Chains A and B, each alone.
Chain A
Amino acid sequence: MLSACSGHLYEELRSSPESPKTLAALKPEFTNALYRTQVDIMGKPLSGLLLIKALPDGSTRVVFTNEIGVKFFDFSFGQQKFEVISCIDQLNKKAVINQLRQDIGAILMYQLDFTRGQVYQLQDELYYQFPGEKSTRLYYVTDAKQRVIKRIENTTDKKKKLVVELFNPIRNVADSIFLDHKLYKFSISLKKIKQ
């Protein structure tokens, strides 16, 4: 039993000799990825296009527009700080911005300190655990044999808050991504588009 894992949800995990730094090799390289995006927020559908692009200065820009071209938000995940480049008033609320920053940031592995992690194993999966925001933990769950990230979980001791499933990665960039918030009805589905 792993007491360090502290919680009912992950008590079956066993310590692994793997270094948490090895996760860095699975960090996605979002050179330029465009995703068809569907959002379900409390039963209300919303769709559009999400562009994730790495810039020469080391930052990653994430832009969400609707199909017709109207821009909802433009975020910069900079090397030093996160910045809202633009956001329509209706979305420009602290809680909304923070949630999107955390969700997208988890996928980007934004400002993830690989030295502060611990690694556990359960059957064929490795669980890379890192401290999350507000006393939560962030798990990157990999297929131990395939060496790919299968999902990301953000959890408290008792409840999973967010599960992100990633499918068919190429150069660590998933072809499909599904984010599902467990404490309220909010999901985001991303499917990569070939332009």
Chain B
Amino acid sequence: MFKPFLIATAMFFTFATYAQPQGYKAVTDKAAFEKSYAAAAEKTTSIRSDFKQEKNLSMLSEKINSSGVFLFKAPNRVRMEYTSPYKYLMVINNDKILIQDRQKKKVYSAGDNKAFKSLNSVIMECVQGRILSNKSFKPVLYENKTTYCLDLTPQSKELKQLFSSIRLVIAKNNFSIDEIEMRESSGDNTVITFTNKRINAPVQDAEVQVN
């Protein structure tokens, strides 16, 4: 029962195919986007952000809301901490992942599990601006005046089972992620919105430490 959890978690930031989003037009020069995205990411040494998550269960007309704090510290450390209405912590530090649920804390090694390796690389590639190079997803890019919209379609059967598509909304001014939407074939989706983003705000090593 544990394996699916790992795999599902690994799919957190993964992707799919949608119709063109309203108000957006297709981006023809993907190489220019990728270059600017990578250049902006290179200047980003850290991120502090709040986030809100909304899980929509369409058939049940039900929403599950949660919120927390997101931290990134270059080159490869991420902290995702849910603070309301429940506490849940995930810290990624290079090839190690810490999961803390109430009092239970466990550290996993990415090398121990293919899913962890996938999780590690996908999250980092999103923050580091290299996600377009990931061959596990087919990307389609759109833009409007202020944001890019990156739709990614999972290519593996494993990923397709979990998500029909994933959409990233990326701010044009600093290439930070405004929103992640993960859609399921059932019509359900999960939307994570990042707010109060502070690029290059100090993040202490202890906050992104795995031990």
Contact = CB atoms under 8 A, between A and B. Distances in A.
Interface of A: 32, 34, 36, 38-39, 41, 44-49, 51, 53, 55, 61, 63, 65-72, 74, 85-86, 88-91, 96, 193-195
A88 B11 CA distance: 13
Interface stretch (B22-30, B100-108, B130-138): B100-108
B57 A70 contact: no
Interface residues of B, number: 36
A70 B182 CA distance: 9
Contact of B86 (A71, A96, A193): A193
A32 B55 contact: no
Contact of A38 (B57, B104, B161): B104
A96 B104 contact: no
Name B's interface SS: mixed
A69 B193 CA distance: 13
Nearest to A66: B8
B11 A70 contact: yes
A88 to B, nearest CB: 5
A63 B7 CA distance: 18
Contacts of B65: 195
Given A70-B11, A71-B188, A45 B2 contact: yes
Interface in B149-164: 161-162
Contacts of A41: 1-2
B142 interface: no
B160 to A, nearest CB: 11
A88 B60 contact: no
Top 6 nearest A-B pairs (CB, nearest first) are A69-B190, A90-B4, A44-B2, A70-B8, A47-B101, A67-B88
A70 B14 CA distance: 11
Interface string B49-61: 0000101010110
A71 to B, nearest CB: 6
A45 to B, nearest CB: 6
B85 A195 contact: yes
Contacts of B55: 65, 69
Given A66-B9, A85-B186, A88-B162, 5 more contacts: A38-B102, A41-B1, A46-B2, A67-B82, A193-B85
B25 to A, nearest CB: 29
B60 A53 contact: yes
A85 B162 CA distance: 14
Nearest to B191: A69
A51 B7 CA distance: 21
Contacts of A47: 5, 88, 101
A52 to B, nearest CB: 11
Contacts of A70: 8-9, 11-12, 162, 182, 190
A39 B11 contact: no
Find the residue from B7, B9, B55, B192 having the highest chain A CB count within 10 A.
B55
B183 to A, nearest CB: 11
A53 B186 contact: no
A66 B88 CA distance: 10
Contacts of A32: 62
B42 to A, nearest CB: 27
A71 B55 CA distance: 10
Given A51-B57, A72-B8, A96-B1, A45 B62 contact: no
B64 A45 contact: no
B36 interface: no
Contacts of B102: 38
B184 interface: yes
Contacts of B11: 70
14 contacts: A44-B2, A45-B99, A46-B1, A47-B5, A47-B88, A55-B60, A65-B55, A66-B8, A69-B190, A72-B8, A86-B186, A88-B161, A89-B4, A89-B161
